[in-house]
Amino acid sequence: MTLDFTAILARWQMLLDGLALTVQLAAVTTLTGFLIGTLCAIARRSDVSALRWVASVYIEAIRNTPFLVQIFVVYFGLSSLGFSFSAVTVAIIALTINVGAYTAEIMRAGFDAIHPGQWEAGECLGLSRTQTYWHVALRPAMERVYPSLTSQFILLMLASSVTSQISAEELTAAANFIQSETYRPFETYIVVALIYLALSLAMRVVFWAFGLAVFPRRRRLGTNL
Residues between 61 and 120 with contacts to another protein, criterion CB under 8 A: 61, 63-70, 72-73, 75-77, 80
159 binds another protein (CB under 8 A): yes
How far is it, in rounded angstroms, from Cα 76 to Cα 156? Answer: 22
Residue number, 136 or 192, with CB nearest to another protein:
192
For every residue of 37-65, DSSP letters joined together read HHHHHHHHT-S-HHHHHHHHHHHHHHHTS
Q: How far is CA 2 from the centre of its chain?
A: 38
Rule CB under 8 A: is residue 207 a binding residue for another protein? no
Closest CA to 14 of 217, 128, 181: 181
Tell me how far apart the alpha carbons of residues 159 and 181 are, in angstroms, rounded to a whole number. Answer: 25
Question: If binding is defined by CB under 8 A, does position 147 make contact with another protein?
Answer: no
Binding string, 8-47, against another protein, x = CB under 8 A? ----------------------------------------
Number of H helices, E strands in the chain: 12, 0
Region binding another protein by CB under 8 A among candidate stretches 12-20, 36-44, 135-143, 172-180: 172-180
Size of the site for another protein (CB under 8 A): 41
| Single residue of 21, 42, 145, 192 touching another protein by CB under 8 A | 192
SS3 assignment, position 184 = coil
| Cα–Cα distance for residue pair 154/158, rounded to 1 Å | 6
Q: Give the shortest CB-32-to-another protein separation in angstroms.
A: 20
Would you tell me which residues interact with another protein (CB under 8 A)?
1, 60-61, 63-70, 72-73, 75-77, 80, 154, 158-159, 161-162, 164-165, 172, 175-176, 179, 183-186, 189-190, 192-193, 196-197, 199-201
